[in-house]
Amino acid sequence: MSEPTRILAVDDSRSTLEVLKRNLEPEGYEVYTCERVDEALPLLEDLAIDLVITDYRMPQATGMDLIRHVRANYPDMEIMMITGYPSIPGAVEAIKDGAGEYLAKPFTTEELLSAVERIVEKQARRRVFCSPATPPDNFGIIGMSPEMDQVFQRIGKAAATDANVLISGDSGTGKELVARAVHYNSARRTASFVPVNCTAIPDSLVESELFGHVKGAFTGAKDGRAGFFEIANGGSIFLDEIGDASPNMQAKLLRVIQSKEFCKVGSSRVHTVDTRILAATHKDLRRMVDEGSFREDLFYRINVVDIRVPPLAERGDDVLVLVNHFLNKFSKAMHRTPPRITDEALAVLGGFGWPGNVRELENLIQRLVVIVDHDPIDVADLPDPMRFCLSSVSGGNRSLADVESEHIRHVLAMTGGNKTRAAEVLGINRKTLREKLKRMEGE
């Protein structure tokens, strides 16, 4: 069971502290309170505080002083500013100096809980993002989600046997990585792993590619050549996208899998082969069998152990772990320090649907590392489809005006108060931004 989130509330108003404590503790938060900044400092040292909620104006040291102290000494701690004197400049200053949320008094219970929930979710994203990319027992494949745990369990079971394996999953999910994990953790690890793209072999060359040919077997065959199965003898052959195999290829594959024998093109000599079959497809082979476009006997030959690789959208926080991995990977290749990435950008990346799966994510991070020449990477640097989905990760149960005002404050803080840059990120002109800011100041 995870530890409860620890919150330290600092406010010179005892009634406000009581409101915070009364509303947050029933939600499972562990709340500590104090009325002055100097009282808060020892608590910060002694307790593993996750979130500081501080008033803006207090006697002696202010909330801004506390924010700067926390940022200088506890960089992983989250901060929320509350105040009875709301202003756009104050919000910009607070968020720019490190406050994750800015809440104006009086606030409703719903507004408070929603703000705290957003902060806790952001903190959880950041912690996942900074976690080790390859936990033990995952065969070198990056992933910590329950969905990937099931994949790792299947890999372990398949690797302990010599059974044929069918790996299914959408394009870009990493089916070849799974196949390699099975091979290199099996008794065949010292022999060859031979990948074969079933889509790329012309029907006229199927037999020659799979089984090889002898010299003079056909026009242009000046020398003999070993086929994929001969090369994979003693090891594993990976039949990628087997669902795209032609009827001719399916027949040839069935024969060699059943008999473990083949003849090279142009020769009658029978060769015996000991090769494990690892096949992969993004198609529904069972449906293809029912439709008659895939051989039922071949399907059952290759589908002894089945491993489904989930799409990236089903893998939860694995997206953030992969973002961190690819940032480090491509930065190292370019001999540069990995760029930082804002919490807002992480939220967008974590909430995106990723139709291209891990391959799409890897391509995007590589492009960002190559193209973006400033630090940190933020929402404005992401492709338009991702920027437009920002609202889907901003939280619910609030009015459109509230969501808009909060987002504008965040963007202004992110751009250091630069209205031209903020307008560019928001996709509006400076005049529209000025009008929105006037309306917000009058709220």
Rounded distance between C-alpha atoms, residue 162 and residue 275, angstroms: 9
pLDDT at 140 over 90: no
What the block records as the tokens of 206 is 């199927």
Contacts of 164 (CB under 8 A, 6+ apart): 257, 276, 277, 278, 279, 301, 302, 303, 304, 305
User: Average per-residue pLDDT in the chain?
Assistant: 86
Interatomic CA distance for residues 138 and 90, integer angstroms: 47
Confidence band of 111 (pLDDT split at 50, 70, 90):
confident
CA atoms within 13 A on the CB side of 103: 26
Check: pTM over 0.85? Answer yes or no.
Answer: no
Confidence of residue 99 (pLDDT cuts 50, 70, 90): low
Alpha-carbon gap, residue 400 to 439, rounded angstroms: 14
Q: How many CB atoms lie within 10 A of CB 307?
A: 24
- Residue 197 has φ and ψ, to the nearest 5°, of -90, 105
**Which pLDDT score, from 0 to 100, does residue 312 have?**
94
Exposed (0-12), middle (13-18) or buried (19+): which is 134, by Cβ within 10 Å? middle
Residue 240 φ/ψ region, left for φ over 0, alpha for ψ in the -120 to 50 degree band, beta for the rest:
beta
Cβ(305)–Cβ(151) under 8 Å? Answer: no
Query: Three-state secondary structure along the chain?
Result: CCCCCEEEEECCCHHHHHHHHHHHHHHCCEEEEECCHHHHHHHHHHCCCCEEEEECCCCCCCHHHHHHHHHHHCCCCEEEEEECCCCHHHHHHHHHCCCCEEEECCCCHHHHHHHHHHHHHHHHHHHHHCCCCCCCCCCCCCCCCHHHHHHHHHHHHHHCCCCCEEEECCCCCCHHHHHHHHHHCCCCCCCCEEEEECCCCCHHHHHHHHHEECCCCCCCCCCCEECHHHHCCCCEEEEECHHHCCHHHHHHHHHHHHHCEEECECCCCEEECCCEEEEEECCCHHHHHHHCCCCHHHHHHHCCEEEECCCHHHCCCHHHHHHHHHHHHHHHHCCCCCCCECHHHHHHHHHCCCCCHHHHHHHHHHHHHHHCCCCCECHHHCCHHHHCCHHHHCCCCCCHHHHHHHHHHHHHHHCCCCHHHHHHHHCCCHHHHHHHHHHHHCC
Peptide bond into 376 cis (omega under 30): yes
**pLDDT higher than threshold 80 for residue 427:** no
> How do residues 227-275 score in pLDDT, each as one tens digit?
999 999 999 999 999 999 999 999 999 999 999 999 988 888 899 999 9
- Residue type at 439 in one-letter notation: R
Architecture of domain 314-441: Orthogonal Bundle (1.10)
User: For residue 262, what are the β-bridge partners?
Assistant: 271
Joined together, the tokens standing for residue 194 give 């031979």
Residue 309 or residue 223, greater confidence: 309
* d(C-alpha 184, C-alpha 358), whole Å: 22
Q: Which CATH superfamily is domain 6-129 in?
A: Response regulator (3.40.50.2300)
- Tens of pLDDT, residues 375-420: 899 988 998 777 665 544 444 455 667 667 767 776 775 565 677 7
In angstroms, rounded to a whole number, what is the distance separating the alpha carbons of residues 270 and 268? 6
CA dist 194 and 278 (Å) reads 10
**Pairwise CA distance, residues 250 & 187, whole Å:** 27
Identify the pLDDT of residue 394. 46
As a whole number of angstroms, the distance between CA 109 and CA 120 comes to 16
Q: How far is the C-alpha of 211 from the C-alpha of 433, rounded, in Å? A: 68
Do 6-129 and 146-309 have matching folds?
A: yes
- d(C-alpha 60, C-alpha 39), whole Å: 12
* Residue 86: pLDDT over 80: no
Q: Where are the domains of the chain?
A: 6-129, 146-309, 314-441
Q: Which residue has the higher pLDDT, 205 or 62?
A: 205
Q: Convert the pLDDT of each residue in 315-340 to its tens digit.
A: 988 999 999 999 999 999 999 999 99
Fold annotation for 146-309: Rossmann fold (3.40.50)
Q: Do 208 and 227 touch, CB atoms closer than 8 A?
A: yes
Examine residue 106 and say whether the peptide bond preceding it is cis (omega within 30 degrees of 0): yes
